[in-house]
Amino acid sequence: MTDVGDIVLIYVDNNPAFFARIEEISADVKPDWFQVKLLVLKVPLLTITWILRQAYYNGQEFTMDGRPMRLEKVTAPALETAGPGPEDTAKTPGKPELVAPQKQKDGKPGRHGKVISISDRRKKDPE
């Protein structure tokens, strides 16, 4: 069941069109119809109010100007709650792992790359 504060994906012509957050659901003057205030999550932000039946904002398909429309509640993927195993270490996604420079057999830092000067590689402008 969709409620205030939920994020929904709006389908237009059976294709995902945009995300919105349900800001308010209030009774309309017509019985069994509701004014659903949506915050469209795009730039710039836009607030719209659609008059819908409860079944429509809970996922049933409806039409606007002859175009099929549907609101689908978005749920966040479940977080993995299992603790790290003996071979698994907790790593923060997106952050690179810090690695100490490798040392050669003689104890000196290894030289695995070549430093290239950008100023030497630039084409000199004719003056």
From first to last of its 127 residues, the chain has per-residue pLDDT tens of: 899 999 999 999 999 999 999 999 999 999 999 999 999 999 999 999 999 999 999 999 999 999 999 999 999 888 877 655 555 555 556 666 666 556 556 666 656 667 767 776 666 655 5
Query: What is the pLDDT, as a whole number, of residue 1?
Result: 86
Query: What is the pLDDT, as a whole number, of residue 89?
Result: 53
Other beta carbons within 10 angstroms of residue 73's beta carbon come to 15
User: pTM for the complete prediction?
Assistant: 0.59
Query: What is the pLDDT, as a whole number, of residue 110?
Result: 59
Query: What is the pLDDT, as a whole number, of residue 107?
Result: 60
Asked if 45 and 51 touch (Cβ cutoff 8 Å), the reply is no
DSSP character for 123? P
SS3 83: coil
